[in-house]
Amino acid sequence: MKALPLNQLYKACVLKDLPFKTTRQLDPLAEIVGQNRAQEAVRFALSMPHGGYNVYAVGRNGLGKRTMMLRYLEHHADEEHRIHDWCYVANFDDPRVPRMLRLPAGEGANLKQDMEKLMSRLVKMIPQTFDSDNFLERAEQLKNEYGKKQEDELEKVANQAKRKKVSLTLTTPGGYRLVAMNGDEPHTAETFAQLTEAQRDKFEDDINKLEKKLRQAVRKIADWEQEYAEKQQALNQETLESISGHQIDELTARYESLPDVVAYLEAVRKDLAENLDIFLDDNEEQAAIAYASLDKKMPRRYLVNLLVHQKTDEVPLVVEDNPTYHNLFGYVENVTFKGTVFTDYSLIRPGSLHRANGGYLLMDAIKVLEQPFVWDGLKRALRGKSIMINSLERELTLSGTISLEPEAIPLDVKIVLFGDRETWMLLQEYDPEFAELFRVTADFENEMRRTPESQVLYAKFIASLVHEKSLLHCDRKAVARIIEYSSRTAEHQARLSLHAADIANLLRESDYWARQSGARLIHADHVEQALTSARYRSSRIRDQFYDAIRDGSTLVTTQGRRTGQVNALSVLSTGGFEFGLSNRVTATCYYGDGDVMDIERDVKLGGNIHSKGVMILSAWLSSRFARKDPMHLSASLTFEQNYGEVDGDSASVAELCALVSALSDIPVRQDLAITGSMNQFGEIQPIGGANEKVEGFFETCVIKGLTGTQGVIIPATNVQNLMLDSRVVNAVREGQFHIYSVNTVEEAIELLLGKPAGRADRKGNYPRGTVFATIAKRLADMREHERQEHEAHSGAAKDSTIH
């Protein structure tokens, strides 16, 4: 069997397929590279006008889902979306329920400024006007008129009382008393008792009549007082109207297209007259509360709380990195003033849903699910299409303080959640509302096909990263090297990795080395230096394993032949860095009932998949050598010097070859290592980590000494995954190392044992000189020996019986 040619070990990027000199000549991508399926899902979700078409973006971390989604939305956001400013203003009828105002984008800030200008004028002009001589004269005139009427009416009653020798006196404010007089002095109890009964009766009768007249007079005074208050209010309103009326009229005309704003301005006009004391009293409380809440010093009753201000006409695009309950739904702040907790509508603060209203809100699914009450609140908002600002303390019933219940704001937003597939499947399984609210799944690819056209597209993707990160541009050879690295990351010659984080990190580190050397462009050697540096930083554990091979602590044989001993290959991962190692697999056989004992499984170091692989090779052995008669050879398998758990079936072909060697007593080549799994028909199946495994055995051979015959056997289906390190490729070019591919276990046995495995004829016999013929003969001899022993034992038993 021939080793693989060089062109199958590494697929280089042909420079003529890249029609540019540097990435400076390429336009950055506005699209999502290689994500046509996800892009179509997003396009569909954004264009659907109905509710529930929110997006769950599925893909592993590092694919650049958020970056790609932001880039797509920035270029393809629906410009027909109507965006608004959102304000809260006082509800003069019910202060606990602040009113919500919806205004066109930009108008909210204008209204806030207009109201602040109006209030700043009124704060100055109202005290001045109400303290002016003109107003004070008119107010004094009204007061004097009322006082004159009151005095005249009371004087009339007092004169009538005086004629009847009764005195009318003022007791308390608003209270009057009629007293019988004894000359110029009021009667005492003694003097009144000395009067005749007729005199006393006359006094009582006169006082009763006077009381009726007094009550009538008091009622008139009360009516006049009410009339005076109305006239005073009218005067105040007239004076106030002369100050503020034309200004409010101007605002009403300016916002006439917004009925809610006009209604609010009219409510302000009405409320101003009823709350003049706000402007007339020098109230330090307002200033203190304004200072505590970081607001301007002005009447808080007429502030406009601009909750959301859209500065441009662009559709809102909000990324919420910390989706707590308050950050998402907004909250009401409190101010402590003189030991009292105070709040009002001006202290309502917006959340991400408010800012994203009319546009798009992007969040991480796991972060949303981790926060208490957020997931239920988000579903409630999406179902009801409105945002309610509820205090979390009220949700938890921890606070007994007075709280506000602001009017709900209509919600029109598309939610994009980023998450992995496991979270998506859990939500599908356990939350029946999830599928109704997130009807669109954007499934992001991990890889894309590698063609000349896609390589150019990938180069534009690299150019996009260069622009975004403000890095040095790459020349064509550097782009080619990055594309080759991408194929290596994808573990496929015809694929390119879409793991944007890896490529971005490589570009950043290449940029660093380029700047260190004073270059103006990133060249291929800078990319290579970045890869070498990253590998060196992460390879401490790998080098410790190699040191153990170098000093003989780990027993590895890379020359000669050994019976029942095969070099298998495994991959170890240490925090994102993977490397290959050779592992010695050994097999021994002995007289028994044909069982294969897996030592790893029996001592509970073997995983389920590894145990499955051993069972499959046991079944294959039985199908070859125990079709009609039982096998009288049992065997045991183990990974030597392994003290941790073993899982995976990629060593099952190596284990089979070790067993075949032990059963046939034919030694195995130690200069070859093998990897691959098998099925019950003896077909070799692909495995993962092919590049790392080949490179791991190559490093082992370099440590032990290259002989020129060493190599690795891999499944034929893994040839397309080879993107080997340049050191391995160069060693193959120089004939110092070899890579073989096999399709069946028979081919692997022939390579490792140096003899044909053998194919059975119709009678089940194998050709002479083959490995399987040797095993079959050994088993047949054992069966014959057992038969003879059985007959001899039966004969001896029969003779004993006759005797």
Report the catalytic residues. 650, 693
Q: How many helices (H) and strands (E) does the chain have?
A: 29, 30
How many angstroms separate the first and last alpha carbons of the chain? Answer: 65
CA–CA dist 230, 236 (Å, integer): 10
350: left (phi over 0), alpha (psi -120 to 50) or beta: beta
Q: Phi and psi dihedrals of 84, rounded to 5? A: -135, 160
What is the distance, to the nearest Å, from the Cα of residue 614 to the centroid of all Cα atoms in its chain? 42
CA torsion sign for 163, 166, 167, 173 is negative
Strand order in the sheet with 55-58: 317-320, 360-364, 414-419, 55-58, 440-443
CA 585 vs. chain centroid, Å, equals 45
DSSP per position, 26-65:
SPPP-S-TT-HHHHHHHHHHHH--STTB-EEEE--TTS-H
CA dist., res. 183 & res. 215, Å (int): 26
Beta 711-715 vs 738-742: how paired, if at all?
parallel
| Alpha helical stretches, state H, 309-414 | 325-329, 352-356, 365-370, 374-384, 392-395
One-letter identity of residue 288: A
DSSP string, 213-267: HHHHHHHHHHHHHHHHHHHHHHHHHHHHIIIIIHHHHHHHHHTTT-HHHHHHHHH
Q: How far apart are CA 38 and CA 87, in angstroms?
A: 37
Are 336 and 355 in contact, with CB atoms under 8 Å apart?
Answer: no
Question: Do residues 406 and 345 lie in contact, with contact meaning Cβ atoms separated by under 8 Å?
Answer: yes
Whole-number Å distance between alpha carbons of 557 and 678: 24
Q: How far apart are CA 595 and CA 572, in angstroms?
A: 30
Continuous H helices in 414-523: 421-430, 434-437, 452-469, 476-490, 500-516
- Cβ count near 635 (within 10 Å): 24
691 contacts 722 by C-beta, under 8 angstroms = yes
- In angstroms and rounded to an integer, the radius of gyration of the C-alpha atoms of the chain is 48
Of 447, 523, 458, residue with least CA distance to 488: 447
Distance CA 63, CA 498 (A): 6
Which residue in 474, 487, 406, 402 sits closest to 447, CA to CA? 487
How many beta carbons lie within 10 A of that of residue 780, not counting itself? 12
Q: Scan for tokens 């546009």, then name that residue.
A: 359
Residue 800 — φ and ψ, nearest 5°? -65, -35
Q: Give the pairing of strands 633-639 and 577-591.
A: antiparallel
**Cα–Cα distance between 133 and 258 in angstroms, integer?**
40
Asked if residue 389 lies in contact with residue 349, where contact means CB atoms within 8 angstroms, the answer is no
Contact by Cβ (8 Å): 105, 313: yes
Burial of 171 (0-12, 13-18, 19+ CB in 10 A): exposed
Contact between 450 and 34 (Cβ < 8 Å)? no
* Interior/surface letters 139-149, b for 16+ CB within 10 angstroms, e for the rest: beebeeebeeb
Contacts of 537 (CB under 8 A, 6+ apart): none
